[in-house]
Structure 1
């Protein structure tokens, strides 16, 4: 897996609105909290997305955009995003190309896609990586602490 201090690989994917998201373009404006999750509308993934949603304003205040990625389709992401009123983009990595680019490991005996969060600063450098399938809420709280350190 990639390490803290590595340059984040650039990529382009479609958002729930059909827009194109290119990491390098977004980093010109702000840091990125890039979180990979297994599947839309599952209990852990919903809890994680809603936790990011509930604290989204804090992330914005810390100069960061939250971005979720899974292998679900744009249509699935649209339904998930609308159902839970997610204010941040979800990206459809249908072929898992970006997941492989970021070397996100599989979880639970290699059955499920893993749950990993990266904090990428405006220079494109990975400042933090958190890999935990079961501690979905910790992805949010730990990430905010890292961003506070970058701003402070």
Structure 2
């Protein structure tokens, strides 16, 4: 009798795990991959102005990088790397855009503190994070970079949580390889 009860208990546990994993997989956003179309979005920039992606898609390459937090060590290195390469991105026909869940005020202070010449967008509900399928890492939002071509398609995607500077370096190298820089 105990063996049958134990077997039923194990079977019930397995069914619950399978069901839970299936629900979890369905609720997680699908990560954008090379070849996917960039979703349209509107967010406030560091100056409180509304940024509509449709106004820029198809006109320039877009380098969209998602980062966890203004003023944190790796995020600051990443932002400063994009800043230091900003002229190279511009010459290559690319527009750099940083996105995280920070406030407009936080982005403005971060931008002013490090003299960031590019757009920072506030995504307080992580809506755009989810549209791009950027996954949380441990207790933070993820760090991913996407390059969008003139057709609105993802042509480069890079994810590395602790290598902030590499996002800028690799995105710029990719654009230059394409003969755009």
Report the TM-score range of the alignment, normalised by the length of the smaller protein: over 0.9
Superposition deviation, residue 18 in structure 1? 1.6
- Output aligned runs, 1:3-152, within 5 Å: 3-107=33-137, 109=138, 111-150=139-178, 151=180
Structure 2: gaps (5+ residues): 1-30
Superposition deviation, residue 24 in structure 1? 1.7
SS of the residue corresponding to residue 56 of structure 2 reads helix
The worse-fitting range, judged by mean Cα deviation, of 23-32 and 98-107 is 23-32
Superposition deviation, residue 113 in structure 1? 0.4
Superposition deviation, residue 17 in structure 1? 1.3
1:61-112: per-residue Cα shift (whole Å, max 9, x none)?
Answer: 00000000000000000000000000001000001000011110111x3x11
Superposition deviation, residue 42 in structure 1? 0.3
Residues in 2 aligned to 1:85 and 1:122: alpha-carbon distance in whole angstroms:
28
Residues in 2 aligned to 1:141 and 1:76: alpha-carbon distance in whole angstroms:
25
TM-score scaled by length of structure 2: 0.81
Superposition deviation, residue 6 in structure 1? 0.4
Report the number of matched residues.
150
For the aligned residue pairs, the C-alpha RMSD in angstroms reads 1.0
Residues in 1 aligned to 2:167 and 2:37: alpha-carbon distance in whole angstroms:
21
Report if the CA contact (8 A) 1:24-1:124 is conserved: no
Residues in 2 aligned to 1:66 and 1:139: alpha-carbon distance in whole angstroms:
12
Residues in 2 aligned to 1:84 and 1:71: alpha-carbon distance in whole angstroms:
19
Residues in 1 aligned to 2:125 and 2:135: alpha-carbon distance in whole angstroms:
15
* Greater helix proportion: 2
Question: Which segments of structure 1 move beyond 6 Å, counting only runs of 4 or more?
Answer: none
Residues in 2 aligned to 1:116 and 1:101: alpha-carbon distance in whole angstroms:
13
Residues in 2 aligned to 1:28 and 1:4: alpha-carbon distance in whole angstroms:
16
Superposition deviation, residue 149 in structure 1? 2.5
